[in-house]
Structure 1
Amino acid sequence: MYLSRAEIDVKNRYKTKDLTHLGAYHNWVEQSFPDEIAAEKRTRHLWRIDVLAGKQYLVVLSEVEPDPKKLAMYAVPGTVITKSYDKFLNQIKTGQLMRFRLTANPTRTVTQPGKKQGRVVPHITMTQQCQWLIDRAEKSGFNLVDQVDVANPEQTATPAFSVVNRDWPMLHRKVGRGVRLSRVTFEGLLRVSDVATFKQTLTQGIGREKAFGMGLMTVIPED
């Protein structure tokens, strides 16, 4: 696995004028793997957009290395970085405390009378969105922990995580009208409970709309 990052050249409006919706970013990611396109054999590419210190970054997780020139298409020159992710994955241990960042599309399925398949609808409130993550933690190989778990145990426990961004970016599909997707970014602390399942979560993502910048969780060890 490989983790790549490129600073988006948002100050160059001419260069990035095409990046007006999630589908354009998806196309940027897919075009960064020309060998897969030529072979007509695509692998899953998880990605998201991060905002750090006023700068925007495209973060991509992939099974093979992206073409650095293609990944630099909309990037600030010299900012494309790709590193092997396998060594980090192989060092994960049960009980390890980590700080995480996850951008996801929290949804639920509503049963419709007279229909076999339910309708997928987004969670709207922050409370619903947080509960969505809580409900998926254990089966994703981790437990959400409180700050008190690593700080002063006499203090009142604070939330294990928080929502740092919520928005509704536009997605234009090839056919039909554009739609807006619920995008939520969570940050906080977790403890690994099942290494195999957790590694699968990191490499395969959480939730829906993975092709359009959702589901990628990244972590940094705290101990």
Structure 2
Amino acid sequence: MYLSRVEIDTTNRRKTRDLSHLGAYHNWVEHSFPDEIQKGQRQRHLWRIDRLNGKNYLLLLSPTRPVLKDFERYGVAGTAVTKSYDAWLDQLETGMVMRFRLTANPTHSIIDPEHPKGRVVPHVTIEQQKKWLEDRATRAGFELIRRSNVEPDTIHKLAFDVVSHDWPVLHHHTENSVRMSRVTFEGLLRVKDVTALKRTLTMGIGRERAFGMGLMTVIPEAQ
């Protein structure tokens, strides 16, 4: 696996005009792998948009390296970098405390007479969104941990939070445009199951993974 990043060129009006919806970002990601397009053998690519120190970045996780000149298509020239992710994954150990960042699409199903299998709708409150992640933590290979100054029975003061929530547009070719719920979580976790966590980090969490949701990254928490 490879983790790549490029600074998005937000000063170029043409570029920002082209990147007006999630489908455009998806297309940017897909065209960073021209060999896959030519062969008709597209692989799963996880990506998200990060904002750090006033700059926007496209972060990409992929089984193969992107072509950097294509990955810089809407980026600032010379800012695209890529590195092997496997060596980092191999360093994970049970019990490690990590700081994580996750952009996801927290949803749930409701009963709807017009949809026999139910209808998927987004969680809209912070409490619902945090509960969505809490419910998936064990299966995903980690536990969300509390800071030392938090009372053990205070579940809503876990050491993670929703740091942003917006509704970006996705244009469909055959359907009307829709707005998707995009939520970014940050906080602390403890590794419980290395195999499960590796699967989470490489396969993603939740729905709409092709459109900038589901990518979780972790770094060691400073002691």
- TM-score bracket relative to the smaller structure: over 0.9
Query: Counterpart amino acid of 1:49?
Result: I
- Offset at residue 114 of structure 1 (A): 7.9
Report the TM-score when normalising by structure 2.
Answer: 0.94
Give 1:206-221 correspondences, 5 Å limit.
Answer: 206-221=205-220
Question: Residues 160-186 of structure 1, C-alpha deviation per residue, up to 9 Å, x if partnerless?
Answer: 201110000000011111000000000
- Tell me the distance in 2 between the aligned counterparts of 1:73 and 1:113: 45
- Tell me the distance in 1 between the aligned counterparts of 2:16 and 2:44: 24
What secondary structure does 2:127 align onto? helix
Instruction: State the partner residue of 1:125.
Output: 125
Query: Counterpart amino acid of 2:217?
Result: T
Instruction: State the partner residue of 1:199.
Output: 198
Query: Counterpart amino acid of 2:52?
Result: L
What secondary structure does 1:111 align onto? strand
- Tell me the distance in 2 between the aligned counterparts of 1:21 and 1:10: 14
| 1:156 aligned onto 2:155 | no
- Tell me the distance in 1 between the aligned counterparts of 2:30 and 2:125: 32
Unmatched segments (≥5 aa) in structure 2: 152-156
Query: Counterpart amino acid of 1:139?
Result: R
Instruction: State the partner residue of 1:16.
Output: 16
Question: Residues 76-100 of structure 1, C-alpha deviation per residue, up to 9 Å, x if partnerless?
Answer: 1110010000000111111111000
| 1:32 aligned onto 2:32 | yes
Larger mean Cα displacement after TM superposition, 110-119 or 158-167: 110-119
Percent identity (aligned): 61
Query: Counterpart amino acid of 2:99?
Result: R
Give 1:52-71 correspondences, 5 Å limit.
Answer: 52-71=52-71
- Tell me the distance in 2 between the aligned counterparts of 1:38 and 1:104: 30
Please give the root-mean-square deviation of Cα atoms over the aligned residues, in Å. Answer: 1.2
Query: Counterpart amino acid of 1:192?
Result: V
- Tell me the distance in 1 between the aligned counterparts of 2:60 and 2:185: 18
Query: Which aligned segments of 4 or more residues in structure 1 are displaced greater than 2 angstroms?
Result: 111-116, 155-159
